[in-house]
């Protein structure tokens, strides 16, 4: 599927994950000569007729062309998406961007750290790791138990090669605290030799990811983080998602960046741009 061609798809199934969060399921034809198979961490541009077009990460896809996006109400376009029903249509472009790279063979252990809706872009990565039987620890942080998403999906954990850690800001479910703090506490029990074989994937509020990045830097642990920025085009034209001082574009060079790049990005954890292009605090 040519990336920049808008394709109309019909919503086939809607899952209400929690208050103000829904997963919309639709199909694309994988037999189309222009079909592009997604990779974990990539996003699509989603057009709601009469409203707007916004970037949303894919929360699921399979070889049959079944795709999903998980949407949280944060503005006019996401509200319009949540108001759609089975049988309604949306337009999509993509997939776009660079996604998560799978662990190298030398990596013996993986941490996946999600904050809130940040679990959505990580879900395809989790499925690939499970399929490859690669052990990982999943740390999920939410504000309150009412904001938990993918309940059925997460019900399958833990397994032999998966450890699960839930935490809530208010202590209403599982551990009380922030995902970044829980991660730091877990690492305290790791001997230095063990941390050399770790890899961390994260997506969520950028301040959370910045704390996780700093912890990884102290321990010498490589990290891949999925960043979120305003995007009007998805293909590098509007410039609203630029990261200073490198001039990298979140839509084409990201949204996933590794530690080597993040060390050089002054904006990470500090600044983003608004719809006018003005730099504002995160």
Residue 162: pLDDT band (50, 70, 90) is: confident
Residue 103 lies in a domain: no
Residues 84 and 129 in one domain: no
pLDDT of 247 reads 95
- pLDDT higher at 34 or 236: 236
Long-range contacts of 102-105 (CB under 8 A, 24+ apart): 102/128, 102/129, 102/132, 103/129, 103/134, 103/199
C-beta of residue 234 within 8 angstroms of C-beta of residue 93: yes
Q: What is the pLDDT of residues 16-67, one digit of tens each?
A: 999 999 999 999 998 887 788 999 999 999 999 999 999 999 999 999 999 9
Nearest to 204 by CA among 143, 280, 265: 143
pLDDT of 4 reads 77
pLDDT of 159 reads 67
Residue 101 lies in a domain: no
Residues 157 and 263 in one domain: yes
Q: What is the pLDDT of residues 59-96, one digit of tens each?
A: 999 999 999 999 999 999 999 999 999 999 999 999 99
Residue 201 lies in a domain: yes
Helices 206-219, 179-187: axis angle to 10 degrees equals 10
Residues 128 and 263 in one domain: yes
CATH number for 59 = 2.40.30.10
pTM, rounded to two decimals = 0.95
Tally of domains within the chain: 2
Q: Which residues, in sequence order, are CB contacts of 54 under 8 Å at separation 6+?
A: 45, 46, 75, 77, 78, 231
CATH number for 167 = 3.40.50.80
User: What residues form DSSP beta bridges with 138?
Assistant: 112, 164
pLDDT of 158 reads 62
Domain end residue (candidates: 69, 96, 123):
96
Long-range contacts of 185-189 (CB under 8 A, 24+ apart): 186/137, 186/139, 187/215, 187/219
Residue 116 lies in a domain: yes
pLDDT of 160 reads 65
Q: What is the pLDDT of residues 176-211, one digit of tens each?
A: 999 999 999 999 988 888 888 899 999 999 999 999
Residue 257 lies in a domain: yes
Q: Which of 19-23, 161-165, 259-263 has the lowest mean pLDDT?
A: 161-165
Residues 37 and 139 in one domain: no
C-beta of residue 70 within 8 angstroms of C-beta of residue 120: yes
Residues 232 and 270 in one domain: yes
Residue 75 lies in a domain: yes
Domain end residue (candidates: 96, 130, 158):
96
C-beta of residue 261 within 8 angstroms of C-beta of residue 224: no
Which secondary-structure segment (H or E) carries 147? Answer: none
Full residue range of the structural domain in which residue 36 is found: 7-96
Q: What percent of the chain has pLDDT over 90?
A: 78
Residue 2 has pLDDT above 90, yes or no: no
């Amino acid at each position: 599927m040519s990336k920049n061609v808008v394709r109309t798809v019909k919503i086939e199934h809607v899952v209400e994950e929690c208050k103000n969060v829904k997963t919309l399921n639709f199909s694309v034809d994988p037999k189309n000569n222009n079909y592009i198979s997604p990779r974990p961490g990539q996003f699509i541009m989603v057009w709601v007729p009469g409203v707007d077009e916004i970037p949303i990460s894919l929360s699921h896809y399979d070889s049959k062309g079944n795709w999903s996006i998980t949407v949280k109400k944060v503005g006019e376009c996401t509200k319009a998406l949540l108001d759609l029903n089975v049988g309604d249509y949306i337009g999509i472009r993509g997939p776009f961007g660079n996604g998560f790279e799978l662990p190298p063979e030398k990596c013996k252990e993986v941490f996946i750290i999600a904050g809130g809706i940040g679990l959505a872009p990580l879900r395809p990565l989790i499925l690939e790791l499970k399929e490859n039987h690669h052990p990982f620890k999943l740390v999920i942080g939410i504000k309150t138990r009412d904001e938990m998403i993918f309940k059925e999906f997460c019900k399958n954990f833990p397994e032999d090669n998966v450890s699960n850690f839930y935490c809530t800001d208010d202590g209403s479910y599982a551990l009380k605290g922030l995902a970044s703090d829980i991660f730091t506490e877990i690492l305290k029990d790791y001997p230095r030799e063990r941390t050399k074989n770790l890899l961390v994937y994260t997506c969520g509020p950028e301040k959370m990811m910045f704390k996780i990045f700093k912890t990884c830097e102290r321990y010498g642990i490589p990290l891949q983080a999925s960043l979120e920025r305003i995007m009007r085009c998805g293909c590098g034209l509007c410039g609203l998602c630029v990261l200073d001082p490198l001039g990298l574009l979140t839509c084409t060079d990201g949204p996933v960046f590794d530690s080597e790049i993040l060390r050089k990005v002054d904006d990470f954890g500090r600044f983003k741009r608004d719809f006018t292009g003005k730099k504002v605090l995160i």
